[in-house]
Chain A
Amino acid sequence: MATEDKTYVEDIDRSLYDFRFENKDAYKVDEGLTPEIVKTISDEKKDPAWMREFRLHSLDIYNQTQMPDWGPSIEGLNMNNIVTYVRPNTKMHADWEEVPEEIKDTFEKLGIPQAERESLAGVGAQFDSELVYHNVKEEVAAQGIIYTDLESALHGPYADMIHDHFMKLVPPTDHKFAALHGAVWSGGSFVYVPPGVSVEIPLQSYFRLNAPGAGQFEHTLIIVDEGAYLHFIEGCSAPKYNVANLHAGCVELFVGKNATLRYSTIENWSKNMYNLNTKRARVEEGGKVEWVSGSFGSHVSYLYPMSVLAGKGSRSEFTSVTFAGKGQNLDTGCKVVHNAPQTSSVVNTRSISKSGGISTFRSSVVVTKNAPESKSAVSCQSLMLDTISRSDTIPAMDIRTSKADIGHEARIGRISDDAIFYLMSRGIAEDDARAMIVSGFADNVGKELPLEYAIEMNNLIRLEMKGAIG
């Protein structure tokens, strides 16, 4: 039988993604983290005074906070080896033609200009820690929507708005890597959608890391005002290096009264990455946040987007898929806090583990006494593709009102031989049949993504599936 001819492949061919360039001109700060380094970063950024203080204060908190000890091991991470700040030798470019050839080539390979051509709203792509290319289509700007890099927004007409919101949802005291982020954050996007404005086409940003040992600490701040609608897409891919890489980004989403924000992410980190990202949303009365998340790659991930349902009737939907392959320990999930009456949350997650990969799903649903008549439905499904992989589900619920409707279901399964036989009986090769079933399993996310992202995700799954144990 075909299954006996299968070979075990250590790692998939990631040559499509693991390309990089020598970056000779880039400026680097000393390795390791001291107040001097933080001050240097602050000087370079031309921070306003409050931000400089905020960074130094965050560094204090960082130094006083313990490493997390409750999840996957991050012992491989040594902060003294992490160059926290690398900036390519280039300034902001609004015109694609002016972006340096080398950097442009990287983006070409990632298909950014392609996406641009296909009339997507705007591209804010981050190369190392600096935004090098940023362009918002005129029609979007004409609606009064602000989409810019966070650094320049700190000095513009929206400076006060940023001051009032920056790291208010995720304070530096939240955990050690939030404190680190507060001290060294660099790059990222700021989006403001004025009241009643509906952004028809998704805004997207593409982040990647491109220097050995460089951490990435981008900050995304999105404010969707009353009755407005926005779909924001964040896509990540990083080249692979031998030095442990760290990603400690932060995403803060403010969803106004009766506003809706859909936040979609496809993360595809190289397999030496420690992805310790913090994402949080606050939703006002009648508002809604929709998280759509695909987590691929990375060595270790800690990722639990959180929704705080602060206003009456506010809603949160969380849809995710996680794929853990050989050598990967992906600890993902989500948290919802219901803190107002008649709030509702839906959590629908899928995790896939293969070739010894570990996938852990944690969910936490908190319904406070302020949230009577609230509803929550949590559903998580796991698919293990062999007997050496692992999948765990750790649901937590803390319900402080008797008038709540809470449901949870978890399922763990394997691909049935009957299903493989069925697909093969129609002429489909075994590898393709498995990939087809896994893609279908991940379709909860796939069908929520714009087409080109759904295709990219299916391609990723296909790549991850090649060389699977038969």
Chain B
Amino acid sequence: MSLLSIDNLSVSVEEKQILKNLTFQVNKGETHVLMGPNGAGKSTLGNAIMGNPAYHIDGGSIFFQDEDLLAKPVNERAKAGIFMSFQNPIEVPGITLSNFIRSALEQKTGQRIRIFQFKKELEKAMEVLQMDPSYAERDLNVGFSGGEKKKAEILQLLMLKPSLAILDETDSGLDVDAVRTVSRGILEYQKDKDSALIIITHSTGILSSLHVDHTHILVDGEIVANGDGSLVDEINRDGFARYEHN
């Protein structure tokens, strides 16, 4: 049984069709990379899986652990084990990063989280990401730099431990050092052998230190090529031109 099964999915945004009859599967523990030029529909796929109401499902299906995902509201999808790191995380004043992660965990588990244990885990995860511990007590994303916001996303990933994580352009706008740190966080997540990943990116920097099982090239709303990790190297060398003229 596959973890995520997308069948003939068509998605539109503001009446404009973006994804066309996409079919795609992710198994437990696999790392998939979704590459393609700007505007190809990569982020649309992530948003459709997560359930962003701005993205309209025109046809097809998404099943997650054999359950119809499209019938679930966004928070139920998260509770089922899906996580998406945002390209532009929202600033939420009035709730600290630490308290936010704790309420998310409580929603997910339906149980009160023990504060001592939680703080310890949070500190550990922040250390992996080389985040200053003071960020835990700052309001969620408020006044964070671009890099800090991305790290805070990966911190949530490490704390929430989803079974499928979608990383939407997590590397965009980051300098080399920050990319390295974020990669370290992703490696940490991959340590659990059941953790599956969909990495959406248009560059390859973030992938250099990660193991990749499958690569998909998305152009104009369709998957035009599938391959293993070596496809990343090819794109790195030749770009998307070959596929765009397909």
Contacts and interface: CB of A to CB of B under 8 A. Distances in A.
Interface of A: 1-3, 416-419, 421-430, 432-433, 436-437, 439-443, 446
Contacts of B108: 427
Contacts of B103: 428, 436
Contact of A422 (B89, B93, B94, B107): B89
A440 B104 contact: no
A441 B92 CA distance: 9
A418 B90 contact: yes
A428 B90 CA distance: 15
B86 A424 contact: no
Contacts of A437: 92
Given A1-B53, A417-B54, A424 B95 contact: no
Given A3-B53, A425-B50, A433-B75, 8 more contacts: A2-B73, A421-B50, A423-B90, A425-B75, A426-B78, A429-B107, A439-B94, A440-B93
Interface of B: 50-54, 73-75, 77-79, 83-84, 86, 89-90, 92-95, 100, 103-104, 107-108, 139, 156, 160
A427 B92 contact: no
B83 to A, nearest CB: 8
A418 to B, nearest CB: 6
Contacts of A421: 50-54, 74
Given A426-B160, A428-B107, A440 B78 contact: no
B78 A446 contact: no
B97 to A, nearest CB: 12
A313 B83 CA distance: 53
B204 to A, nearest CB: 26
B75 A427 contact: yes
A180 B75 CA distance: 53
A419 B74 contact: no
16 contacts: A1-B73, A3-B53, A416-B90, A417-B54, A422-B89, A425-B75, A425-B84, A427-B75, A427-B78, A428-B103, A430-B73, A432-B107, A433-B75, A440-B139, A441-B94, A443-B94
Contacts of B84: 425
A426 B92 contact: no
A419 B92 contact: yes
Contacts of B86: 422, 425
Contacts of B51: 421, 424-425
A417 B94 CA distance: 18
A429 B110 CA distance: 12
Contacts of A2: 73-74
Contacts of B73: 1-2, 424, 430
B107 A440 contact: no
Nearest to A418: B90
B156 A426 contact: yes
Contacts of B90: 416, 418-419, 422-423
A424 B74 contact: yes
Given A419-B90, A443-B94, A430 B53 contact: no
Contacts of B100: 426
A421 B89 CA distance: 11
Contacts of B92: 419, 422-423, 436-437, 440
Contacts of A422: 86, 89-90, 92
B94 A427 contact: no
A317 to B, nearest CB: 19
A442 B93 CA distance: 9
A247 B83 CA distance: 51
B54 A440 contact: no
A446 B96 CA distance: 13
A441 B107 contact: no
A431 B181 CA distance: 35
B75 A436 contact: no
A1 B72 CA distance: 8
Contact of B75 (A419, A430, A443): A430
The 8 closest A-B pairs by CB, nearest first: A440-B94, A443-B94, A424-B74, A427-B78, A2-B73, A426-B104, A427-B107, A422-B90
Contacts of A436: 92, 94-95, 103
A350 to B, nearest CB: 10
B94 A424 contact: no
A454 B79 CA distance: 29
Contacts of A428: 75, 78, 103-104, 107
A448 to B, nearest CB: 12
Contacts of A439: 94-95
Residue among A424, A436, A442, A443 with the highest chain B CB neighbour number at 10 A: A424
A355 to B, nearest CB: 22
- Identify which of B54, B74, B78, B84 gathers the most chain A CB atoms within 10 Å of its CB: B74
A119 B11 CA distance: 59
A422 B160 CA distance: 15
B93 A443 contact: yes
B76 to A, nearest CB: 8
A408 B206 CA distance: 45
A151 to B, nearest CB: 41
Nearest to B79: A427
A423 B51 CA distance: 12
Contacts of B107: 426-429, 432
Nearest to B54: A417
A22 to B, nearest CB: 40
Nearest to A443: B94
A310 B156 CA distance: 51
Contacts of A433: 75
B198 to A, nearest CB: 14
A445 to B, nearest CB: 10
A252 to B, nearest CB: 33
A376 to B, nearest CB: 24
B78 A417 contact: no
Nearest to B103: A428
Given A436-B92, A441-B93, A443-B93, A425 B78 contact: yes
A123 B23 CA distance: 67
